[in-house]
């Protein structure tokens, strides 16, 4: 996105994520994230600090919102918590799903040759969408990049297809599996009639 002109100044939004009117500092979010993830793993503050190799006093202050940790500190915490660091920094993934909730919703392409059925939309807590694909040979379908951090997984059920990053697609046959970044342009082109598959879109 953003071929947009660099509007002289204004340090505004988190890139690639949504905006919140009153730009909330990064710090309070990190504080909340640390709390949340630590609670989730059921581990104590002392123990987490020990595993991360940082002083518990530091962690205490970070969780209490006084902070602004260095990347190394935050990285160590992310490792110890076994979460990607982005989950500590970036705002909780907004529901910017292209698809409205509802079962069996079919996303018809402009061309009728491409049909994606939403099987399980991303519920709160999970971070993935699951689609069933049914595609006919023809022009390759080029997908625009999704949210940053998105990863796509494809398992081809039947048929043959050229799949992957627009720059380096690979050919898949029935049973083959491929994964690639979903936040870069990518393609899906059926090479046989009634090519079917499953796509898991994972939002890290």
Partner DNA sequence: AAGATTTGTTCGTCAAACCGAACGATAGGC
Partner DNA sequence: GCCTATCGTTCGGTTTGACGAACAAATCTT
- Residues of the shown chain interacting with DNA in the complex, contacts defined by CB under 7 A: 44-47, 53-58, 60-64, 66-70, 72-73
HEC profile for 158-169? ECEEEEEECCCC
Least CB distance to a second copy at residue 85 (A): 5
Picked from DNA, a second copy, none, the partner binding residue 1 (CB below 5 to 8 A depending on kind) is: a second copy
Identify whether the C-beta of residue 126 lies closer than 8 Å to the C-beta of residue 201. Answer: no
Place of tokens 């694909």: 133
Q: Of the candidates 166, 165, 172, which has an alpha carbon nearest to the alpha carbon of residue 196?
A: 172
Q: Enumerate residues 6+ apart whose C-beta is below 8 A from 84.
A: 78, 149, 204
CB of 185 to a second copy, least distance (A): 12
Cross-strand bridge partners of residue 154: 178, 199
What the block records as the tokens of 90 is 């970036």
| Partner that binds at residue 136, options DNA, a second copy, none, CB closer than 5 to 8 Å by kind | none
CB of 160 to a second copy, least distance (A): 12
- The listed partner (a second copy, DNA, none) that binds 42, CB under 5 to 8 Å by sort, is none
Comparing CB distances to DNA, the nearer of 61 and 147 is 61
Nearer to a second copy, 127 or 137 (CB): 127
Instruction: List 202's β-bridge partners, or say none.
Output: 128, 151
Give the number of other CB atoms < 10 A from CB of residue 152.
Answer: 23
Residue 16's region, left for phi above 0, alpha for psi from -120 to 50, else beta, is: left
Which of a second copy, DNA, none has residue 86 at its interface (CB below 5 to 8 Å by kind)? a second copy
Shortest distance, position 57 Cβ to DNA, whole Å: 3
56 binds, among DNA, a second copy, none (CB under 5 to 8 A by kind): DNA
The listed partner (a second copy, DNA, none) that binds 83, CB under 5 to 8 Å by sort, is a second copy
**Shortest Cβ distance from residue 7 to a second copy (Å)?**
7
Calculate the CA 39 to chain-centre distance. 22
Q: Which is nearer to DNA, 7 or 21 (CB)?
A: 21
CB of 87 to a second copy, least distance (A): 7
């Amino acid at each position: 996105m953003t071929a947009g002109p660099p509007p002289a100044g204004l340090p505004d939004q988190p890139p690639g994520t949504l905006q919140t009117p009153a730009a909330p500092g990064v710090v309070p979010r990190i504080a909340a994230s640390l709390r949340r993830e630590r609670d989730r793993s059921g581990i104590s503050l002392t123990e987490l600090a020990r595993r991360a190799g940082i002083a518990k006093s530091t962690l205490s202050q970070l969780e209490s919102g006084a902070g602004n940790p260095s990347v190394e500190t935050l990285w160590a915490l992310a490792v110890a918590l076994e979460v990607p660091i982005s989950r500590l920094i970036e705002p909780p993934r907004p529901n910017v799903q292209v698809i409205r909730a509802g079962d069996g919703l079919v996303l018809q392409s402009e061309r009728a040759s491409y049909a994606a059925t939403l099987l399980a939309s991303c519920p709160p807590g999970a971070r993935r969408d699951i689609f069933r694909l049914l595609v006919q040979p023809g022009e390759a379908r080029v997908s625009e990049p999704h949210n940053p951090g998105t990863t796509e997984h494809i398992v081809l059920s039947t048929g043959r297809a050229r799949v992957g990053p627009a720059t380096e697609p690979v050919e898949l046959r029935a049973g083959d599996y491929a994964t690639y970044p979903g936040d870069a342009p990518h393609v899906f082109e059926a090479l046989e009639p009634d090519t079917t598959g499953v796509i898991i879109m994972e939002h890290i």
